């Protein structure tokens, strides 16, 4: 009976514990909401923590017809280089074909990936 009570108490403590400190809000904005193929678009990422505390964010462009996790498996091919500018990160992208692209931030600055990713933004390219 003690083990059951101990297990129940531990489960309750874990359920009530605050989320990991590494999690914070990330916003992703584009200079153009519906870009055309080949148009240069600036993507900006901001967090609600100072940029130097947010770790190393990553940004992946998932082309139409590809799953997010397939793009993450081949991240080097789909990753957009982010540059830190003051309190935000920025990247330029030219979408190579029309369709439903997804811009994904797969982590909160830590190594690895979060499931589900913190940010998935659908961009419809004309």
Cα angle for residues 97, 102, 104 (degrees, 5° grid): 135
CATH number, domain 22-125, options 2.60.40.10, 3.40.50.1970, 3.30.930.10, 3.40.1350.10: 2.60.40.10
Q: Assess whether pLDDT exceeds 50 at residue 13.
A: no
pLDDT at 2 over 70: no
Instruction: Tell me what pLDDT residue 15 has.
Output: 45
CA atoms within 13 A on the CB side of 66: 19
Taking the whole predicted model, whether its pTM rises above 0.95 is answered as no
pLDDT, tens only, 87-122 = 899 999 999 999 999 999 999 888 888 889 999 999
If one compares 121 and 12, the residue with the highest pLDDT of the two is: 121
pLDDT tens per residue across span 47-78: 988 877 778 889 999 999 999 999 999 998 99
Q: What percent of the chain is predicted at pLDDT more than 70?
A: 83
Q: Would you say 109 and 56 are in contact if contact means Cβ atoms under 8 Å apart? A: yes
Give residues with Cβ within 8 angstroms of 87, minimum separation 6: 46, 50, 51
Higher pLDDT, 72 or 23: 72
Residues 63, 97: Cα–Cα separation, whole Å? 8
């Amino acid at each position: 009976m003690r083990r059951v009570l101990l297990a129940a108490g531990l489960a309750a403590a874990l359920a009530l514990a605050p989320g990991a400190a590494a999690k914070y809000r990330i916003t992703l904005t584009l200079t153009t909401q519906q870009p055309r193929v080949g148009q240069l678009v600036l993507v900006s990422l901001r967090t609600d923590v100072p940029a130097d505390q947010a770790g190393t964010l990553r940004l992946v462009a998932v082309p139409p017809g590809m799953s997010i996790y397939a793009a993450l498996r081949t991240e080097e091919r789909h990753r957009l280089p982010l540059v830190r500018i003051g309190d935000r990160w920025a990247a330029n992208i030219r979408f190579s074909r029309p369709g439903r692209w997804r811009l994904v931030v797969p982590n909160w600055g830590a190594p690895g990936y979060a499931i589900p990713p913190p940010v998935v933004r659908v961009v419809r390219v004309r």
